[in-house]
Chains A and B, each alone.
Chain A
Amino acid sequence: MLSIAENDLGTPASESDLLVTLDIDGRSIRVPAGTSILRAAALAGSTIPKLCATQMLDAFGSCRLCLVEIEGRKGYPASCTTPVADGMKVKTQTPRLGTLRRNIMELYISDHPLDCLTCPTNGHCELQDMAGAVGLREVRYGYTGANHLDARKDESNPYFTFDPAKCIVCSRCVRACDEIQGTFALTIQGRGFDSKVSVGQNESFLDSECVSCGACVQACPTATLSEKSLIELGQPERSIVTTCAYCGVGCSFRAEMKGEELVRMVPHQDGHANHGHSCVKGRFALGYATHKDRITTPLLRKRISDPWQPVSWDTAIAHVAAEFKRIQTSYGQHAVGGITSSRCSNEETYLVQKLVRAALGTNNVDTCARVCHSPTGYGLKQTLGESAGTQDFDSVRQADVVLVIGANPTDGHPVFASQLKQRLREGAKLIVIDPRRIDLVRTPHIQAQHHLQLRPGTNVAVLNALAHVIVTEDLVDTAFVEARCEAPAFTKWRAFIAQQQNSPEALERETGVPAGQVRAAARLYATGGNAAIYYGLGVTEHAQGSTAVMAIANLAMATGNLGRAGVGVNPLRGQNNVQGSCDMGSFPHEFPGYRHVSDQAVRESFEQAWGVALHDEPGLRIPNMFEAALDGSFKGLYIQGEDIAQSDPNTQHVTAALSAMECVVVQDLFLTESAKFAHVFLPGSSFLEKDGTFTNAERRISRVRRVMAPKAGYADWEITQRVAQAMGYPMNYRDPAQIMDEIAALTPTFSGVSYARLEELGSIQWPCNAEHPDGTPTMHVDAFVRGKGKFMLTAYVPTDEKVNARFPLLLTTGRILSQYNVGAQTRRTPNVVWHSEDVLELHPHDAEVRGISDGDWVGVESRAGDTVLRARISDRMQPGVVYTTFHFPESGANVVTTENSDWATNCPEYKVTAIQATRVSQPSDWQRRHQAFTEQQLELLGPARTTRP
């Protein structure tokens, strides 16, 4: 069922600049050439009946309902597949057309269950609407002939049902799966009267390749494919546009509501990041927001071994303020700090760093971006001058060569992956650099031209080898480099990169990638037209994460692939607001807008606005906070929406640090791993419960809108404000719009941003200021933000994390489509049917020599710790490399990862851990201790989980 709020024009918009004038039902209209008559008529106000057409999909011409008459042409062409022509005269309603349409509807209805009154889409069914539109009054064939009414319903998918008895075989679902999602899981089986929609080889949705994106459900004109929530709750009555709180794609959705109840999420067709598409998480995995595990009452305890006491908000806030004051008095001003969340809004993040800097008087504020994209911020700032990706997502439509390195978009950024796959099916070339054979390497209708299957930890070597080929084979875009980049730095870099030690041949043994492949990939990247690089945490989460980011920027500058659509350097941000949380001054050394705390002019502007003196020295980073806690100088921590005890490396080190603190305040939805070590729990609000903005990977600021009241009474920004007030610092914002006004006033890249402008434009890509009043889709167009681009030297230094006889395998970690990061949300949804535990993927050879079979328990031991996971044997892996995800706390993936980190930013080296894998029969010691601790903590939570004071 289409959105209740969107009008469908039948076929996609034409992108032609050429305009064509035609006459439809006596009205003259000008539309772009290539527009269908169906769409032109809808724009002219003539609604032509249709069933198989929707503007989400290319015209198909199968239902024959949209027939029209065209003066001077024979017959009755389908208006969806007939493009407009200059001077054309079209009639959309004539007695003859009326008869034809009724005859067609009669056939459809003769094989349809007439249960409209009890049907979930009653009132929003296109078949029902069309029967009305064509004036169907009788079905001469009766209803007793051959039919499909006994077809079996498929309810295997947890979120939607497939009822083929209601199907009209319009192929919209099949086409949505092919054209939009690119999974090709559906087909029409058989022919003639026997044709029916088949999932895979006539199997259930759950058994098939279906990725549950829901595009088919949205496209279905009848109730054949319907959300289970729609069936259960009935039709929504209002729709509110908001932004998804999962990954960094930042999809725009319509939350379709019935009172305070969310009936369903429908991706917004005008959403600039997603254009009406979504993934299984954003569309369906929302059950966590109303899950029984939500804690909705503030809780206090003295020691982490004490039971939690439910208290009032006043008591909880006063306690936090008193404790932080006591700690600062006893241990010094810098004994406290805060961690902002990439899951929270810009406004909330801004307030937390303001609370820490202004109310607590320290720069000890950091964010979870520390452990993901901090090298992006550093590396791109050094080379290009701005800590952000250079393009919008739509840029990929103009790319000719796409290089994906250290990213797995079909799992991590699925909606962007669908857009990327559309472009690849149109013929763009693909280079994948990844230790694993990710889906993109080979998936229906997509085949990477080159897959450089490198050893984990050798990104910089491979990137240098690519640059070496470009420099030594004279593939540098000299005109671009001379005009746009610093000459001395380039000369130095060219001499460095041309050294024999950076050649693909010299590095082959280190990287494991055949030199010939590297050379071919380099030539393709440099000479294949518009070349765009997309990268993820497989680049940043390394000892040389920042170096690799700079090497990527070097490649783009050397080949002139910056400053226009279709090219660029594109970090795929992991979380919904990781870009925003960085922009908002979450790092200990930077104010909002990436300006160093030692910059006096900047500091004075904040001092004046905030009315307090501010420190000019950077504060502690997250790992430094842990060190300081363990040496006794850091005692109080305010954590908003972040679960460091699960997500940060070397879990046992993190929990030891948390245990050494005197006041850990966790503001979250659930009793997270970190909350089990907390003294104060402040119940937070989900993205459905508050107003604000998120900034996605393309620097796009989009509105988050409250669709239901906060379950615990307050939105997160209000809680932070109350803590500040209790600390004696005045914060009196009426609403998040006022916070955004302050951000805009203090941050030059945001000066043109306001809620009013967001309302007007839908979303805004920063920088947005006097120079770019409508925002900036593509950065560095005429000049780099830093003036001239700067080539940086990127010597490859092998990581200290090396394999040896004791730890002979390399472990790398990542995510899977159905689960999201620490899983606190997705584990509390039916998404667990696809992934109910983290597994260790290993190559058949590595399994065989260890006597490990698929499904066996495997002990995974590193220098940091050990855990036990179930084995999954997979030829995606290369020999010597194993892989796991970190969605379940009991998996202990981060018990195994080490504290090695990026030299520049301390971003942890999650992607390389030397391990040994052995077949075992029981959980690890850590897992047993973790389970006992979890049971104890749930006991201590006791009735508090559901009690209100």
Chain B
Amino acid sequence: MSSASLKPAAIPLQDPGPTPREHAAVAAAITACRDLPGALLPLLHAVQDALGYVPSASLPMIAHALNLSRAEVHGVLSFYHHFRTSPPGRHVLKLCRAESCQAMGSVALEALAKQRLGIDYHATSASGGTTLEPVYCLGNCALSPALLVDDELMGRVTPQRLLALLDALESGS
């Protein structure tokens, strides 16, 4: 996929590229976003929304579509913690670590979540049920401490509510 002159043009043989499912999702995101101004971020969001992650193997496709280099796409993708390059667990739990939530007890919630799931941040529980991520301010400070589970915002989180939530996420309900 490289357009560099040092390498004669060739159809890469060894690079397996994205899977058919990944390819379809990325192609759809490209079609939807390529003509937007500053298309890269909306496109990466569209891919992650569709697949839950942005496959590394799809970066050449994205770079080619937007006429960027692979390095540029990689730079943007790796800059934002929101984007991931491998599939997350069935649910993504984001705990707010910003000032207001810390003042209202989020540090204890963090410890609880890590202990219950047996993982640190940026990891997925052994059951594959939950991926734990930190987040810096969900804009829900009036209802601190807050968290985001998948697309759902939860405020006034207590240890009890968090444990109940984690049980639900881990049991697959």
Contact = CB atoms under 8 A, between A and B. Distances in A.
- The answer to whether A and B interact is yes
A184 interface: yes
Given A185-B69, A444-B68, A211 B5 contact: yes
A210 to B, nearest CB: 7
B71 A184 contact: yes
A447 B8 contact: no
Contact of B5 (A184, A187, A188, A816): A816
A205 to B, nearest CB: 11
Interface of B: 2-11, 13, 56, 59, 63, 67-72, 74-75, 78-79, 81
Interface in A401-458: 410-411, 414, 439, 442-447
Contacts of A209: 2-4, 69-71
Contact of A841 (B2, B9, B13): B9
Interface of A: 183-191, 198-202, 208-212, 280, 410-411, 414, 439, 442-447, 816-818, 834-835, 839, 841, 844, 854, 872-876
Contact of A445 (B67, B70, B75): B67
Nearest to A446: B67
7 contacts: A185-B69, A187-B72, A211-B5, A444-B72, A445-B68, A816-B6, A841-B8
A399 B126 CA distance: 61
Closest CB pairs A-B (n = 9):
A187-B75, A184-B69, A209-B4, A187-B71, A817-B5, A444-B69, A876-B9, A874-B9, A201-B74
A844 B11 CA distance: 9
Contact of B63 (A191, A444, A446): A444
B149 to A, nearest CB: 25
A343 to B, nearest CB: 22
Given A191-B79, A854-B10, A874-B10, A199 B5 contact: no
B8 A872 contact: yes
B72 A874 contact: no
Contact of B7 (A189, A445, A834): A834
B57 to A, nearest CB: 10
A184 B2 CA distance: 12
Contact of A875 (B7, B11, B67, B81): B11
Contacts of B6: 210-212, 280, 816-818, 834-835
A183 B69 contact: yes
Residue in B67, B71, B74 whose Cβ sees the most chain A Cβ within 10 Å:
B71
Contacts of A210: 4, 6
Nearest to A876: B9
Nearest to A201: B74
A187 B10 contact: no
Given A201-B71, A873-B10, 16 more contacts: A184-B69, A185-B69, A189-B74, A189-B78, A198-B71, A198-B74, A200-B69, A200-B70, A201-B56, A208-B2, A208-B4, A209-B2, A816-B6, A841-B9, A854-B11, A874-B11
Majority-rule SS of B interface residues: loop
Contacts of A184: 68-69, 71-72
A179 to B, nearest CB: 13
A314 to B, nearest CB: 46
A190 B74 CA distance: 9
Contact of B67 (A183, A211, A439, A447): A447
Nearest to A873: B11
Nearest to A412: B5
Given A201-B56, A439-B5, A835-B8, A186 B71 contact: yes
A198 B78 contact: yes
B10 A202 contact: no
Contacts of A212: 6
Most chain A beta carbons < 10 A, residue from B10, B69, B72? B69
A40 B145 CA distance: 52
Given A183-B69, A445-B68, A200 B11 contact: no
A67 to B, nearest CB: 26
Contacts of B3: 209, 439, 442-444
Contacts of B11: 844, 854, 873-875
Nearest to B4: A209
Given A187-B72, A190-B78, A442 B67 contact: yes
A411 B78 CA distance: 31
A816 B4 CA distance: 11
Contacts of B71: 184-187, 198-201, 208-209
B8 A839 contact: yes
B7 A202 contact: no
A189 B10 CA distance: 27
Contacts of A844: 11
Nearest to A211: B6
Given A198-B78, A443-B3, A444-B63, A816 B70 contact: no
Contacts of B78: 189-191, 198
B5 A201 contact: no
Nearest to B57: A201
B7 to A, nearest CB: 7
Contacts of B70: 200-201, 208-209
Contacts of B81: 191
A198 B69 CA distance: 12
B53 to A, nearest CB: 15
Contacts of A873: 10-11
Nearest to B66: A444
Contacts of A198: 71, 74-75, 78
Contact of B8 (A199, A208, A816): A816
A212 to B, nearest CB: 7
A189 B77 CA distance: 8
A190 B79 contact: yes
A246 to B, nearest CB: 15
A211 B59 contact: no
Nearest to A199: B71
A183 B68 CA distance: 10
A183 B4 contact: yes
